[in-house]
Amino acid sequence: MEIGDMILETFAAMSDEEKERCIHCGTEWYKIHHRDGVCHRCQQESKPGRKQLAARATAKRRLMIGLLAVAALLILYCCLTRQS
List residues binding Zn ion (CB under 5 A).
22, 24-25, 39, 42
**Would you say 11 or 30 has its CB closer to Zn ion?**
30
**Would you say 21 or 61 has its CB closer to Zn ion?**
21
At its nearest, how many Å lie between Zn ion and the CB of residue 64?
28
3-state secondary structure of 31: helix
**Would you say 19 or 24 has its CB closer to Zn ion?**
24
The sign of the CA dihedral 27, 33, 34, 39 is negative
Task: Determine the Cα–Cα distance for residues 42 and 47; give it in Å rounded to an integer.
Answer: 6
At its nearest, how many Å lie between Zn ion and the CB of residue 15?
18
